[in-house]
């Protein structure tokens, strides 16, 4: 018998937490994007786990779409990072503070 | 969730994937050098792929390796080298006082809440009652057939919308990354 779904769910929760901590604490926009990928993967792992538990292929289809959206998001996000870097030669998100109220 | 005897290989596979995922994830945010972070990200993504295979999502595991490790991380590395931002990370000062403490507390509460939700509720929505579809998930090439059938019938509209999204993303990336200078080869990589 396969290992219980709860193990994978707890693993996914830990992965999500690590990714969220990285997004909240790191400064570099590139590292924040990587941590965002970690969080997306945690959600994907949860989807696949529930897909197995419920014997429903819909979970895997959702993961498929999440991957597509993640690829598009990274493409556009890195384009933004590149153009911001051209303007101020830094990727630190702390320096983008013109709109601070 | 009653602890019966689980097959040793399954437990080993789970432990391997958990080790890969956690070591890779911690490595992403603990290393200073962005290149090392990207390589740790590959490790974590491989761990997720192992977990996918262990749960009979074979096609998704292959796509995980191809798309994530093969395209997204390469894109990250390309941007890192293009910008030359390796080892540019500033010293470990906290511009916001107590930011890390608050982030840690918030993340702990979130993870504890998630685990409690998984453990206490009946799979959150009681969705076992609507698991419908009847046939259990297949593995191997049958998994590809099953997933393809679902994507091209039930989720066809979302699939077509995905195509539009990808076109918009590619055009947007090219427009964003292409300035008046001649460095326009970057945005069209993906």
Over residues B15-46, the pLDDT tens digits come to 999 999 999 999 998 888 888 999 999 999 99
In 3D, which of B183, B76, B28, B144 has the Cα closest to residue A64? Answer: B144
Instruction: Say if residue B190's pLDDT is above 80.
Output: no
DSSP state of B185: T
Residue of B nearest to A53 (CA): B128
Residues of chain B neighbouring A70 (CB-CB closer than 8 A): 72
| Complex-level ipTM | 0.90
Phi first, then psi: give them for residue A90, nearest 5 degrees. -165, 150
Say if residues A85 and B85 touch (Cβ distance below 8 Å): yes
Cα B59 versus chain centre, distance: 15
Strand partners, A92: A28
Instruction: Quick: pLDDT tens for B57-96.
Output: 889 999 999 998 888 999 999 988 888 765 555 555 666 7
Report the pLDDT value the prediction gives residue B85, as an integer from 0 to 100: 64
Greater confidence (A90 vs A74) lies with A74
Partner residue facing B99 (CB), from A25, A78, A79: A25
Report the pLDDT value the prediction gives residue B1, as an integer from 0 to 100: 45
Which residues are CB-neighbours of A41 under 8 A, at least 6 positions away? A15, A19, B44, B45, B48, B68
How distant is the Cα of B38 from the closest Cα of chain A, in angstroms? 7
At CB < 8 A and 24+ separation, what contacts does B141-146 make? B143/A60, B143/B56, B143/B57, B143/B58, B143/B59, B144/B58, B144/B59, B146/A57
Domains of chain B: 1-89 (1.20.120.1200)
Domain ranges of chain A: 29-89
């Amino acid at each position: 018998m396969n290992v219980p779904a709860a193990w994978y769910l707890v693993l996914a929760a830990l992965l999500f937490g690590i990714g969220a901590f990285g997004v909240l604490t790191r400064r570099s926009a590139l590292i924040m994007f990587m941590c965002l990928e970690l969080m997306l993967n945690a959600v994907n792992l949860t989807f696949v786990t529930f897909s197995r538990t419920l014997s429903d292929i819909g979970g895997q289809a959702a993961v498929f779409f999440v991957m597509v959206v993640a690829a598009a998001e990274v493409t556009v996000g890195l384009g933004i990072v590149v153009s911001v870097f051209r303007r101020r030669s830094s990727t630190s998100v702390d320096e983008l503070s013109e709109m601070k109220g | 969730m009653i602890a019966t005897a689980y097959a040793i290989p399954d437990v080993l596979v789970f432990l391997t994937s958990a080790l890969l995922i956690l070591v890779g994830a911690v490595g992403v945010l603990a290393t200073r050098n962005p290149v090392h972070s990207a390589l740790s990200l590959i490790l974590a993504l491989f761990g997720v792929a192992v977990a996918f295979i262990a749960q009979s999502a074979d096609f998704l595991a292959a796509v995980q390796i191809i798309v994530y490790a093969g395209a997204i991380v390469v894109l990250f590395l390309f941007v890192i080298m293009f910008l030359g931002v390796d080892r540019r990370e500033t010293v470990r000062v906290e511009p916001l006082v107590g930011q890390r403490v608050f982030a840690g507390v918030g993340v702990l509460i979130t993870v504890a809440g998630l685990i409690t939700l998984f453990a206490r509720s009946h799979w959150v929505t009681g969705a076992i009652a609507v698991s419908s579809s009847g046939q259990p998930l297949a593995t191997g090439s049958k998994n590809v057939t099953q997933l393809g059938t679902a994507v091209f019938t039930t989720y066809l509209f979302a699939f077509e919308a995905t195509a539009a999204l990808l076109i918009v993303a590619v055009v947007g990336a090219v427009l964003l990354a292409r300035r008046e200078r001649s460095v326009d080869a970057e945005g069209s990589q993906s």
